[in-house]
Amino acid sequence: MARKIQIARPTKMELARLKKRLRLALRIQKIVKDRLSILVMEFIQTIKASARVRSRLYEEMSRAQTSFFLTAGYLGYEPVKKDLLGRETAVMIHAGTRNVAGVRIPLFESDEDARPPDELSNPLEYSAHLEHTRDLSRRFLETLIELAELQKSLDLLGIEINKVKRINNALEYVVIPGLDMTIKYLNMKFEERDREEAARLKRVKMLIEQREAYAY
């Protein structure tokens, strides 16, 4: 429940200042609501994108595992393991950001330091099965990085949405109603004071007129 704003001296200057604060609070509330709408819309779109990428990740993981087992069955597990370990590459992830309603959303981009295939005598180097497994594994890694980007975005957006909601609730249920209630209270107080002053002046005028009448 909103409470009346406490003021030191109920003056008309204070009333004008409170009205100015109320107009400012209403403008701020509109900006906060617009920002909240943008953040919620981005959050929903990110959830949908995350669901699609997660589904694609499971499919790519299943295909990569199937290809690996088929390749291991065709060429042997130990030779495939030895070849894959011998061709390990460093994966660099470049991180950037984009701005969404004041929130810095991460952008991840992978950069695989792939070595060119050497003309080795090992026949595994030219196995179509092994090359297919490598390609599927690379796609799986790229999708995993994409999902990580979306999940981090969801975390940041969720935190910011909660903050903006608290600000909006404070404005809507505390600050603005409190200012409005105080302004109404002061208006009533000043109207009552004006009526009392008008009644007092009327009585003084009547007394003066009576005294002048008695004087004659």
pLDDT digits (tens, 9 = 90+) for 44-64: 999 999 999 999 999 999 998
12-215: which CATH architecture?
Orthogonal Bundle (1.10)
135-172 per-position pLDDT tens digit? 888 888 889 999 999 999 999 999 999 999 999 999 99
Residue range 33-43, pLDDT digits in tens: 999 999 999 99
Structural domain spans, the chain:
12-215
Q: What is the pTM of this model?
A: 0.73
Whole-number pLDDT of residue 121: 41
C-alpha pair distances (Å), 178 with each of 33, 166, 169, 184: 19, 17, 13, 10
